Amino acid sequence: MVTSEYERRIAARFATFDQDGNGYIDREDFSGAAKALLAEFGTAARSDRGQALYIGAEAFWQGMAGIADRDGDQRITREEFVNGAVKRLRDTPERFAEIARPFLHAALAVAGGGDGGVGVEDTTRVLTVLGVDEDLARSAAAALDTDGDGRVDEEEIVRAFARYFTVPE
Ligand code: CA
Ligand code: CA
Ligand code: CA
């Protein structure tokens, strides 16, 4: 089978969302990511930060489902992802950024960042928990700090997120 660079990129994006690797994206992938982040940073689910992260994860899931779950079965298949999410995200990356923002905001708070953002080391931990290979996570975390102040702040991570999922054909 010939796989184009485009298809490879789409497959990688799908895998990023399909955190448990069962072949579709659903609510469990988002709540699972929240749970893993809380465990990594020793934050209780019942704390304010923990609750904010779960609420952000649920909002992120609802936003994704609204874009991509065409048959309404609460699962996004790869086909729905390609035909729904990827096309819509490419057309309106800023809308996607807003869907992701509450989760990303809460994730930065869990990782210890106030308004000044999170250090590159803790950002690497976040990415690794979310399934990014450790070497790649390290370089990605450094790249996220676009203004080079040694911290990854909300705008930097929201913009990078939108960029990552905006896959050119
Ligand atoms: Ca899944
Ligand atoms: Ca579906
Ligand atoms: Ca920065």
Q: Give start and end residues of each alpha helix (H) in 4-153.
A: 5-17, 27-40, 48-68, 78-80, 87-91, 93-110, 120-129, 134-144
Ligand 2 center to residue 63 CA distance, Å? 13
Residues 6+ apart with CB under 8 A from 120: 141, 142, 144, 145, 150, 151, 152
Instruction: Count structural domains, the chain.
Output: 1
Show the low-confidence residues of the chain (pLDDT under 70). Answer: 1-2, 114-115, 167-169
What pLDDT is recorded for position 169? Answer: 67
Instruction: Calculate what percentage of the chain has a pLDDT beyond 70.
Output: 95
> Minimum-distance ligand to the CA of 156?
3
What pLDDT is recorded for position 117? Answer: 85
> Minimum-distance ligand to the CA of 146?
3
Ligand 2 center to residue 124 CA distance, Å? 32
What pLDDT is recorded for position 94? Answer: 81
In whole angstroms, what is the distance from residue 54 CA to residue 31 CA? Answer: 6
Q: What CATH number corresponds to the domain at position 136? A: 1.10.238.10
Backbone angles phi, psi at 4, to 5 degrees: -75, 160
Amino acid at site 33 = A
Start-to-end Cα distance in the chain: 19
Ligand 2 center to residue 60 CA distance, Å? 16
What pLDDT is recorded for position 102? Answer: 95
Ligand 3 center to residue 169 CA distance, Å? 29
**Residue 24, exposed/middle/buried by CB under 10 A (0-12, 13-18, 19+)?**
buried
Rounded (5°) CA angle 160-124-159: 10
In whole angstroms, what is the distance from residue 81 CA to residue 24 CA? Answer: 9
In whole angstroms, what is the distance from residue 108 CA to residue 148 CA? Answer: 17
In whole angstroms, what is the distance from residue 77 CA to residue 149 CA? Answer: 39
What pLDDT is recorded for position 1? Answer: 56
In whole angstroms, what is the distance from residue 110 CA to residue 123 CA? Answer: 11
The whole domain housing 9 covers 5-166
